[in-house]
Amino acid sequence: MSAFPPPDMSDPWIRRFRPRPEAVVRLVCFPHAGGSASYYHPLAQSPTLPTDSEVLAVQYPGRQDRRRERLLDDIGELADLITDALGPFDDRPLAFFGHSMGAVLAYEVAQRLRERTGKQPCRLFVSGRRAPSRFRRGTVHLLDDTELAAELRRAGGTDPRFLDDEELLAEIIPVVRNDYRAVELYRWNPSPPLSCPITALVGDRDPQAPLDEVEAWQQHTEGPFDLKVFAGGHFYLNTHQQGVTEVISKALADSAQQRATARGNAR
C-alpha cells in the first residue's frame, strides 16, 4: 500500500493521464498559448520518464472539457488559481515544465508557491520562452482572424487540419487570441531569484526566443542553470520528443540525487 493517499482528482485544473500513486516526484506541465493539457499526454506515457515520476498537466479554462468556462487573459489570475489547484499535490516534490506561455506561468506559480508555503519546485523547466526580465512588446493578439490564423501556421504548433476547418478554426481563434493577450500584456514584477535549478530548452531557429534572451533565465535562480538547444523553431519539441524527454529524465534524476545527498548530510 502507498504511503501517500491519492489526492482529490476532481479539480478541473489538473489532468493525470497516467496515475502513479507511489511516484516520488510530480512533473507539472503548463501548456502554450492556445494549448491544452492533452498536449502533454505523450510525455506522460513515455517509457523514458523515470518510473518514480508522475506527469500532471494543467488545463486552462475555455478549452476542451472546460470550453464553456470563461477564458482568463491575465497571467497573474491564472497563476493564483493554478497555485491553489496544486495544493493537494504538494505532499511530495513538484517539478514544473512550461512551454512558451506555459514557461511564464510555471515561473509565476513557482514564485507564488515560495511566497505561500516556503517551498519551491525541485526543478523548473522553461521551454521556448525568453526570461521574464527580457521584455518585448507583442501585438499578435491585435491581429485580425485571418492574420492570426496565418501566425499559427508559421509557428507550427497547431494541427493544419484544424486550421483548414472553418468551424474548428472559429473555435480556436478566440482561445489563441485570449492567451496571446495574456502573455503579451504580462509584465514581470521584479522578484528575488528562485533557488531551484532551472533548465531552459529552446529551438535554434525560434524567432520568439533568441538564445541571449533565453540564457537570461540564469538571472532568475541562485541555483544551477543549464541550457539545451535543439534544431528547430518555436515548436522544436514536436520533432524532438525523445530528446526533450531525456533532458527531463536526467534532470529529475539529478534533482533526486541532490535531495538524497541533502538528507544524508542532515543526519
Angle between helix 101-117 and 166-184 (nearest 10): 50
100 is catalytic: yes
pLDDT band at residue 4 using 50, 70 and 90 as cut-offs: very low
pLDDT higher than 80, residue 9: no
Tens-digit pLDDT profile for residues 177-222: 999 999 999 999 999 999 999 999 999 999 999 999 999 999 999 9
User: What number of other Cβ atoms are within 10 A of residue 240's Cβ?
Assistant: 18
Answer whether 92's CB lies under 8 Å from 2's CB: no
Answer whether 128's CB lies under 8 Å from 104's CB: no
Cell numbers linked to 37: 493539457
Residue of 36, 234, 240, 255 marked catalytic: 234
Answer whether 30's CB lies under 8 Å from 99's CB: yes
Cell numbers linked to 153: 501556421
Phi, psi of 49 (to 5 degrees): -65, 145
Q: How far apart are the first and last CA of the chain?
A: 27
Distance (Å, rounded) from C-alpha 32 to C-alpha 179?
Answer: 8
**Global confidence as pTM:** 0.91
User: What average pLDDT score do residues 112-139 get?
Assistant: 94
Cell numbers linked to 246: 531525456
- Looking at residue 34, what DSSP letter applies? T
Tens-digit pLDDT profile for residues 52-91: 999 999 999 999 999 999 999 999 999 999 999 999 999 9
Residue of 32, 53, 99, 100 marked catalytic: 100
Express as a percent the part of the chain with pLDDT over 90: 75
220 is catalytic: no
Domains of the chain in start order, with CATH, are 14-138+193-266 (3.40.50.1820)
Please identify which residue in the block is written with the cell numbers 528562485. Answer: 194
